[in-house]
Amino acid sequence: MRRQRMQVLGPLAVVVALVAAACGGGSSSSSSSSATTSAGGAASTAAGSSTAANSNVSGTVTFTGVWTGDEQKNFQAVIDGFNKQYPNVSVKYTPAGDQLPTILATAVSGGKPPDMASVPQPGLMKDFQAKGALQPIDYAKSAIDANFGSDWSKLGTIGGKLYGLVFKAANKSTVWYNVSSFKDAGVQPPKTWNELLTDAGTLQSSGTPAYSVGGADGWTLTDLFENIYLRQAGPDKYDQLSTHAIPWTDPSVKTALSTMAKVLGDTSNIAGGTSQALQNDFPTSVSDVYTSPPKAAMVFEGDFVAGVILSSTKAKPETGFNVFPFPSINNSPPVVMGGGDTVITFKNTPAVQALVNYLATPEAASIWAAKGGFSTANKKVDPSIYPDTITRDTASALADAQTFRFDMSDLQPAEFGATVGQGEWKDFQDFLRNPKNVDGTAAQLEADAKKAYGS
């Protein structure tokens, strides 16, 4: 989540505003509340939704978050919904954006952290917990278990205690395509990896390269690898590789790299070839699919792609652009890889507990979902609350996923998983230059991982 936040999450509000205007989707907190009465009533009651009963809870909650701009405004609507139930609790939200890790680290080391925060990387949560700065939120476990899948609860659990709630999520197991290009080539969105490769050849024969690759941003390449690895090696191996419990020279890694090379090595079927792919950043890789004529037919990336499409191209939802789930590999079951913003607490007060419990309800998530630019893994949220079909589909895949795994590079030390010019980003860029070098790439990844993990 952190890497694309500045580039895309602002424009993502555009897609929702435009589509909601066309569809007449409700965007007020009052409309979202009425739309989710049946879905959220039981959970809200369990959390204590009676204003009279909740009037005994009072105090101030300071909350430093990653959400700025439109996201901040939409989260304020969630806070307003909370205040209808807890009128005597004042929530003071401070937006920090991409400076949040530094701001929180400084506050914690100075002994003056906020009461709560939202962080885009599980690694930050683990760092603060290791320093003894976090308070567990086990009091919300029953609500989270009831409203979210088990994988989401595991993401917030450290040493058997619950420390985090993933409130805002992103589905990165999506492929975005040019509807006209697919129609002209006579292909349908593929369901399997082999179908994808076959369709890629058909698209090329029709006159449009299949793939657009944003190789200048190394994280787009790690995302592609992670989607392949999760499906091919399975979630257990994914977990082991995420923590460096197995080396990057493991046969499962080399198998995934060989599969990835089926795309990266198809150089004549990549928009502009390898050299151009290495120069294209993420936004360019998206807009290239929707120029006239298109430079490619599809691009691998997350649900935030929609924001770039509508902010930089003339393509319209469903008729100009659409999306399909990342294909199954070797009959792999449906799985989702993605990111999310996790709510953590540095203080434990009745007011903090009330807000955490409220954020775990479908009612809270529905307020922001109705406004757009938001996905949740809360399975009790009525999908009809989302303002357009595309968001509804990608968000539902998150909530319905039996298996979800967080972006692997966000789980690893930043010097290996998330630093420009080194570690995974550079190694995968080198792999894009030479997709035949499977063994060499695996060896370099392992060498860089050892440095980062100190082993």
Mean pLDDT throughout 92-104? 94
Q: Do 344 and 329 have their domain in common?
A: no
38 versus 68: the higher-pLDDT residue is 68
Nearest partner of 337 among 410, 282, 288, 387, judged by Cα: 410
Q: Do 182 and 268 have their domain in common?
A: yes
Mean pLDDT throughout 342-361? 98
φ/ψ (deg, to 5) at 174: -135, 150
pLDDT of residue 17: 35
Q: Can you tell me the distance from the alpha carbon of 203 to that of 181, in angstroms, rounded to the nearest whole number? A: 7
- Percent of the chain with pLDDT strictly greater than 90: 81
User: Residue 455 — pLDDT band, cuts 50, 70, 90?
Assistant: confident
Number of domains in the chain: 2
Mean pLDDT throughout 152-174? 96
Mean pLDDT throughout 199-227? 97
Residue 10 Cα to chain centre, angstroms: 15
Q: Do 46 and 147 have their domain in common?
A: yes
SS3 for the chain is: CCCCHHHHHHHHHHHHHHHHHHHCCCCCHHHHHHHCHHHHHHHHHHHCCCHHHHCCCCEEEEEEECCCHHHHHHHHHHHHHHHHHCCCEEEEEEECHHHHHHHHHHHHHCCCCCCEEEECCHHHHHHHHHCCCCCCCHHHHHHHHHHCCHHHHHHCEECCEECCEEEEEEECCEEEEEHHHHHHHCCCCCCEHHHHHHHHHHHHHCCCCCEECCCCCHHHHHHHHHHHHHHHHCHHHHHHHHCCCCCCCCHHHHHHHHHHHHHHCCHHHECCHHHHHHHCCHHHHHHHHHCCCCCCCEEECCCCHHHHHHHHCCCCECCCEEEEECCECCCCCCCEEEEEEEEEECCCCHHHHHHHHHHCCHHHHHHHHHHCCCCCCCCCCCHHHCCCHHHHHHHHHHHHCCCEEECHHHHCCHHHHCCCCCHHHHHHHHHHHCCCCHHHHHHHHHHHHHHHHCC
Residue 1 has pLDDT above 60, yes or no: no
Q: 180-194, 287-301, 405-419 — which is least confidently predicted?
A: 405-419
Q: 174-178, 324-328, 371-375 — which is least confidently predicted?
A: 371-375
**What are all long-range contacts of 416-420, with beta carbons under 8 Å and residues at least 24 apart?**
416/448, 416/449, 416/451, 416/452, 416/453, 417/222, 417/452, 418/2, 418/3, 418/219, 420/218
133 versus 149: the higher-pLDDT residue is 133
Residue 21 has pLDDT above 80, yes or no: no
Residues 389-426: pLDDT tens digits?
A: 999 999 999 999 989 999 999 899 888 998 899 999 99
Q: Do 376 and 292 have their domain in common?
A: no
Residue 23 has pLDDT above 90, yes or no: no
Q: 8-17, 87-96, 225-234, 439-448 — which is least confidently predicted?
A: 8-17
Q: Do 300 and 251 have their domain in common?
A: yes
Q: Do 228 and 369 have their domain in common?
A: no
Write out the residue range of the structural domain in which residue 32 sits.
Answer: 5-171+338-406
Residue 247 has pLDDT above 80, yes or no: yes
Q: Do 290 and 392 have their domain in common?
A: no
Q: Do 28 and 151 have their domain in common?
A: yes
Residues 43-91: pLDDT tens digits?
A: 444 444 456 668 899 999 999 999 999 999 999 999 999 999 999 999 9
Q: Do 136 and 224 have their domain in common?
A: no
Q: What is the CATH number of the domain that holds 397?
A: 3.40.190.10
User: Residue 30 — pLDDT band, cuts 50, 70, 90?
Assistant: very low
φ/ψ (deg, to 5) at 389: -65, -40
Q: Do 53 and 116 have their domain in common?
A: yes
Residue 357 has pLDDT above 50, yes or no: yes
Residues 110-131: pLDDT tens digits?
A: 999 999 999 998 889 999 999 9
pLDDT of residue 297: 98
Residue 26 has pLDDT above 90, yes or no: no
Mean pLDDT throughout 385-389? 92
Q: Do 197 and 320 have their domain in common?
A: yes
pLDDT of residue 232: 98
pLDDT of residue 98: 84
pTM: 0.83
Q: Please state, rounded to an integer, the average pLDDT across all residues of the chain.
A: 89
Q: Do 145 and 53 have their domain in common?
A: yes
